[in-house]
């Protein structure tokens, strides 16, 4: 995370925000797709006789529901990871600011020490 870095922290932050928005959009789309699949499967189930066909439709519904729920869980996990990345980036920025302040204070102390030594040539 020095001056040689390929990306600056604001760029990484913007990238994380963009990725977060993409994941939120994908999650919304998956939720809509899940609702649509549920609706379609319910309509299909209503049209089917209470025979073996109905059980195969219900099994298909269960499989699709499980697949979509897994997909939603994965997206939620990715969103958590992005949130953690944002927190790490914020802490790194704060750390860099504190390091800069520390260097500035060190320079001030060094100058004050030089001034004290220069004004008292005989020592204490």
pLDDT tens profile 39-67: 988 887 677 666 666 677 788 899 999 99
**Residue with the larger pLDDT of the pair 97 and 13:** 97
Q: What is the pLDDT of residue 54?
A: 64
What mean pLDDT is predicted for residues 18-36? 91
Separation between Cα atoms, residue 110 and residue 7, nearest integer Å: 34
Mean pLDDT across the stretch 75-89? 86
Q: How far is CA 97 from CA 76, 87, 100, 102, in A?
A: 32, 15, 5, 9
Please report the pLDDT score of residue 48 as a whole number. 63
Question: Between 122 and 13, where is the model more confident?
Answer: 13
Is 123's pLDDT higher than 70? no
CA atoms within 13 A on the CB side of 44: 15
Query: How far is the C-alpha of 18 from the C-alpha of 115, rounded, in Å?
Result: 52
pLDDT, position 1: 47
**Is pLDDT at 5 greater than 70 in this prediction?**
no
| 3-class state of residue 34 by DSSP | helix
Angle, alpha carbons 109-111-113 (nearest 5°):
70
Is the CA virtual torsion 58, 60, 62, 65 positive or negative? negative
Q: Count CB neighbours of 55 within 10 A.
A: 11
What's the rounded Cα separation, in Å, for the pair 101 and 52? 74
- Answer whether residue 88 shows pLDDT above 50: yes
């Amino acid at each position: 995370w020095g001056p040689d870095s390929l990306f600056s922290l604001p760029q990484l932050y913007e990238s994380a925000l963009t990725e977060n928005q993409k994941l939120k959009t994908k999650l919304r789309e998956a939720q809509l797709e899940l609702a649509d699949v549920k609706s379609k499967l319910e309509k299909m189930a209503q049209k089917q006789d209470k025979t073996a066909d109905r059980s195969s439709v219900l099994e298909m519904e269960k499989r699709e529901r499980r697949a979509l729920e897994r997909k939603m869980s994965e997206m939620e996990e990715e969103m958590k990871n992005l949130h953690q990345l944002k927190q790490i980036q914020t802490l790194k920025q704060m750390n860099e600011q504190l390091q800069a302040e520390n260097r500035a204070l060190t320079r001030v102390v060094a100058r004050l020490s030089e001034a004290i030594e220069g004004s008292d040539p005989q020592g204490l």
